[in-house]
A and B are shown apart, each in its own frame.
Chain A
Amino acid sequence: MARYRPLRAMLALGALCLVLGVSMGLEGGLNLGLKLSLCPVARAEQPSSVNPTAQSVKEQDLLKELHKVQGRGSIPDTKSYVIQQPAGRDWRQFHEVTLRWIGGIAILGMLALLLVFYLFRGMVRIEAGRSGRTLVRFNGFERFVHWMTAICFITLALTGLNITFGKELLLPYMEPQVFTEWSQWAKYAHNYASFPFTLGVVLIFLLWIAWNFPTPTDMRWLRQGGGIVGHEHPPARRFNAGQKAIYWVVVLVGGTMAASGYILMFPFYETDISQMQTAQMVHAIAGVIFVAIMLAHIYIGTIGMEGAFEAMGSGRVDVNWAREHHSLWLERQIAKGRVEEPPPPEGSPAPAE
């Protein structure tokens, strides 16, 4: 009996195929019949005119949903595939109105503040007078890094402000061709000064990081107004809380400036139009705030405080200046034997160098 099983199975399969085939044929026939019978009905229900835009994209819908219109083009320039980005108008509003206000308030506000402060407080003197003894505050390399960064910063600041404020402040007073010539050079200067500036920020970060972590001394210094707002001389190590703040501004804001700046300098490498606009906005806002803060730094380093400039000038500061502003640092320097012996009494005080 077992021998006949394959035969039976084959027969059963054949029968199944037959049944399936017939049913499929029937189904097909039925479909065809249905289609034939339905066709006149469908034709009758069709509107008199076709509407090919029933499924089509509509400009207003795209703008509402995506805020831009983008498609596929046939040229290698992929950024040209965006055919409409009304956000450009928002960026214009930022650049022409918002940024001018932020920049104007930050920079003019800081200048006004410094002026009022200077008139009120004047130059912070070395209260004990100059001792005539000096000690090294910044070595040659530190001063080189500071001034390289500073010169680049001033170049970048002036050429950068020219892009935003030049046409209002300079263009009305010069020939358009002359202003273009200057702005063209300013643009190149801005681009190329960015490299030594960025190097400077990196070196500043590495050079002085060890002395710039916040400590409890900073809290006391801040509470006493740093000796510049008040008249006390709170103790400080090599850098006080104000200098630490400037350090971190240079490192963090300077870093932001460099990062956003290089995005602008290498446009559309990894960015699209809205990211370029964002990069510009970050660069511009950080830039004007950076300028405002650095004005305060320049003030305190020059006319704001007696004996401060020579720290970055000759690199040596007077012992009495150090005692009043960096007492804890001076103690350590004395302990390490890094303070000059007093000069002979009859000799005139040596110049700063």
Chain B
Amino acid sequence: MARMKFLCDADRCIECNACVTACKNEHEVPWGINRRRVVTINDGKPGERSVSMACMHCTDAPCAAVCPVSCFYTTADGVVLHSKDLCIGCGYCFYACPFGAPQYPRVGNFGSRGKMDKCTFCAGGPETDLSKAEYEKYGSNRLAEGKLPLCAEMCSTKSLLAGDGEIIAEIFKERVIKRGYSSGAWGWQTAYRETVAT
């Protein structure tokens, strides 16, 4: 089985937000929930870089570790998913997540956040694959259809890579060697305890 990962090549990201739009549309994500977002570092200054960030589907995921009701699980593909039926909306996963991935329908209403929502790597949830119940809670399950996450598929500059970790690392590595520079495989060290040697 492949170990699924995301990799955002910040030297290619042009902050077009196509990944964000693709994600929102594909999964019909409600307003206020942002499974993926693009953030620009040193905006307007020479050397600014934009990074598209969502759940990185960490190895030994911190969200899963701190969840007081153990609602997280990791699929055979290394995708970190959770059950909205078990989630109590305590917000702890957001404190533990290094990437700010968990989202809540309501924040600050006496701490009653509602069920957590996050990027599923387009892999749905614990319900039967491609069922209506799965779609309503977690969005579409592209992986079950043999497709990769739509954010990366729609990326206009192919900055955002999604798929088998070894393959996307190889693509990124080749690019970096050819062009001769890189600002890093953002989040890899934190998420996977390894980086792409370039």
> Within 8 Å of chain B (Cβ to Cβ): is A62?
yes
Complex Cα distance, B163 from A108, in Å, reads: 48
By a CB distance below 8 angstroms, the chain B residues around A309 are: none
Query: In the bound complex, do residue A52 and residue B38 qualify as a contact, i.e. CB atoms below 8 Å apart?
Result: no
By a CB distance below 8 angstroms, the chain B residues around A114 are: none
Complex Cα distance, B91 from A266, in Å, reads: 11
Complex Cα distance, B190 from A78, in Å, reads: 22
By a CB distance below 8 angstroms, the chain B residues around A268 are: 107-108
Query: In the bound complex, do residue B108 and residue A280 qualify as a contact, i.e. CB atoms below 8 Å apart?
Result: no
Once A51-B181, A183-B68 are accepted as A-B contacts, the answer to whether A267 and B108 lie under 8 Å apart by CB is: yes
Complex Cα distance, B47 from A315, in Å, reads: 73
Complex Cα distance, B37 from A77, in Å, reads: 10
Beta-carbon contacts under 8 Å, A42-85 to B: 49, 51-60, 62-63, 69-75, 77, 79-85
Query: In the bound complex, do residue B111 and residue A265 qualify as a contact, i.e. CB atoms below 8 Å apart?
Result: yes
By a CB distance below 8 angstroms, the chain B residues around A184 are: 88
> Within 8 Å of chain A (Cβ to Cβ): is B159?
no
Once A71-B39, A84-B98, A264-B111 are accepted as A-B contacts, the answer to whether A55 and B190 lie under 8 Å apart by CB is: no
Instruction: State how many angstroms separate the Cβ of A188 from the closest Cβ of chain B.
Output: 7
Complex Cα distance, B184 from A80, in Å, reads: 20
Q: Which one of A54, A80, A176 lies within 8 Å of B34 (CB-CB)?
A: A80
5 contacts between A and B (CB under 8 A): A53-B182, A57-B47, A75-B34, A79-B100, A167-B70
Once A85-B98, A164-B68, A268-B107 are accepted as A-B contacts, the answer to whether A53 and B62 lie under 8 Å apart by CB is: no
Interface residues of A (CB under 8 A from B): 49, 51-60, 62-63, 69-75, 77, 79-89, 91-92, 95-96, 162-164, 166-167, 171, 176-177, 179-180, 183-184, 187-188, 191-192, 264-269, 273, 276-277, 280
Once A74-B38, A84-B190 are accepted as A-B contacts, the answer to whether A277 and B95 lie under 8 Å apart by CB is: yes
Query: In the bound complex, do residue B69 and residue A180 qualify as a contact, i.e. CB atoms below 8 Å apart?
Result: yes
Complex Cα distance, B68 from A171, in Å, reads: 10
Give A82's nearest chain B residue, CB to CB. B100
By a CB distance below 8 angstroms, the chain A residues around B100 are: 79-80, 82-83, 85, 273
Complex Cα distance, B70 from A179, in Å, reads: 10
Query: In the bound complex, do residue B68 and residue A73 qualify as a contact, i.e. CB atoms below 8 Å apart?
Result: no
Complex Cα distance, B195 from A102, in Å, reads: 35
Once A171-B70, A264-B111, A269-B108 are accepted as A-B contacts, the answer to whether A56 and B49 lie under 8 Å apart by CB is: yes
> Within 8 Å of chain A (Cβ to Cβ): is B167?
no
By a CB distance below 8 angstroms, the chain A residues around B179 are: 49
Number of cross-chain contacts by CB at 8 Å = 175
Q: Which one of B108, B111, B180, B190 lies within 8 Å of A86 (CB-CB)?
A: B190
Further contacts, 5 of them, CB under 8 A, given A82-B100, A163-B92, A176-B69: A72-B39, A72-B43, A74-B15, A91-B66, A167-B70
By a CB distance below 8 angstroms, the chain A residues around B194 are: none
Query: In the bound complex, do residue B92 and residue A95 qualify as a contact, i.e. CB atoms below 8 Å apart?
Result: yes
By a CB distance below 8 angstroms, the chain B residues around A277 are: 95
> Within 8 Å of chain A (Cβ to Cβ): is B30?
no
Complex Cα distance, B99 from A80, in Å, reads: 9
Complex Cα distance, B41 from A166, in Å, reads: 40
By a CB distance below 8 angstroms, the chain A residues around B107 are: 267-268
> Within 8 Å of chain A (Cβ to Cβ): is B42?
yes
Query: In the bound complex, do residue B91 and residue A92 qualify as a contact, i.e. CB atoms below 8 Å apart?
Result: no
Query: In the bound complex, do residue B186 and residue A56 qualify as a contact, i.e. CB atoms below 8 Å apart?
Result: no
Query: In the bound complex, do residue B99 and residue A84 qualify as a contact, i.e. CB atoms below 8 Å apart?
Result: yes
By a CB distance below 8 angstroms, the chain B residues around A264 are: 111
Instruction: State how many angstroms separate the Cβ of B50 from the closest Cβ of chain A.
Output: 8
Q: Which one of B69, B186, B190 lies within 8 Å of A179 (CB-CB)?
A: B69
Q: Which one of B38, B111, B184 lies within 8 Å of A59 (CB-CB)?
A: B184
Query: In the bound complex, do residue B96 and residue A191 qualify as a contact, i.e. CB atoms below 8 Å apart?
Result: no
Query: In the bound complex, do residue A73 and residue B38 qualify as a contact, i.e. CB atoms below 8 Å apart?
Result: yes
Instruction: State how many angstroms separate the Cβ of B192 from the closest Cβ of chain A.
Output: 13
By a CB distance below 8 angstroms, the chain A residues around B66 are: 91-92, 95-96
Query: In the bound complex, do residue A276 and residue B95 qualify as a contact, i.e. CB atoms below 8 Å apart?
Result: yes
Complex Cα distance, B88 from A87, in Å, reads: 23
Query: In the bound complex, do residue B37 and residue A80 qualify as a contact, i.e. CB atoms below 8 Å apart?
Result: yes
Beta-carbon contacts under 8 Å, B165-198 to A: 179-187, 189-190
By a CB distance below 8 angstroms, the chain A residues around B189 are: 59-60, 63
Complex Cα distance, B70 from A91, in Å, reads: 17
Beta-carbon contacts under 8 Å, B35-57 to A: 37-43, 46-51, 53
